[in-house]
Amino acid sequence: MLNEWRPYCIKKNKEFFDIRPKEAIKALQETASRFPVPPNTLSLVIDLMPHFTRYFSAYLDPKVVAVKFIQLPGICYLEVTRQPNAGETPITTQEEILLGGLVKPDAPTLDDLRVNEALLRSCDAYDWIMISALFPIDVAHGIIEEWERPGGKLEQERNN
């Protein structure tokens, strides 16, 4: 977790925050300013929406209409497009992926992109609520309950 978010964390072992929108926007802008990307930088892109539609349709925020994985020199992120309401302009955001194991070389290749794609496709619903905001908060809480309850999926995986 980025240090500037720590004061807003609801639980020390989770990345759920209690912050006013204006403060969140300011913090996000400050974080984004540390990662400037020159306009002519080559980016590698994978469309993950078919994957989410196939495996996570029961969880995915219905406003999400596109999910792309973007790989640039030294950084990877999700580009998420949401349709707020019918007839309104879609909003596209970039979300940093805080996931160990992602390959972030200074000169990414298609092989690097494929390694990252495989890692992302191996993530389950519990992983995704920890690294993104693709599922509505009530759905995320349901996934947490399913995984973290005594005898839940987390305990079952630990025992395997």
- pLDDT of res. 62: 94
Alpha-carbon gap, residue 51 to 97, rounded angstroms: 17
- Residue-by-residue DSSP string for 106-142: SS--HHHHHHHHHHHHT--HHHHHHH---S-HHHHHH
How do residues 100-147 score in pLDDT, each as one tens digit? 899 999 999 999 999 999 999 999 999 999 999 999 999 999 999 999
Q: What percent of the chain has pLDDT over 70?
A: 93
Alpha-carbon gap, residue 43 to 38, rounded angstroms: 11
Which pair of tokens denotes residue 138? 């009530």
- pLDDT of res. 98: 84
65's enclosing H/E stretch is strand 64-72
How do residues 22-38 score in pLDDT, each as one tens digit? 888 887 788 777 777 67
* pLDDT reading at 48 higher than 90: yes
Q: What is the mean pLDDT of the chain?
A: 88
* Inter-residue contact 64 to 82 (CB < 8 Å): yes
0.75 surpassed by pTM: no
Alpha-carbon gap, residue 160 to 150, rounded angstroms: 15
* pLDDT reading at 17 higher than 90: no
Strand order in the sheet with 91-96: 44-47, 64-72, 75-82, 91-96
* Inter-residue contact 145 to 151 (CB < 8 Å): no
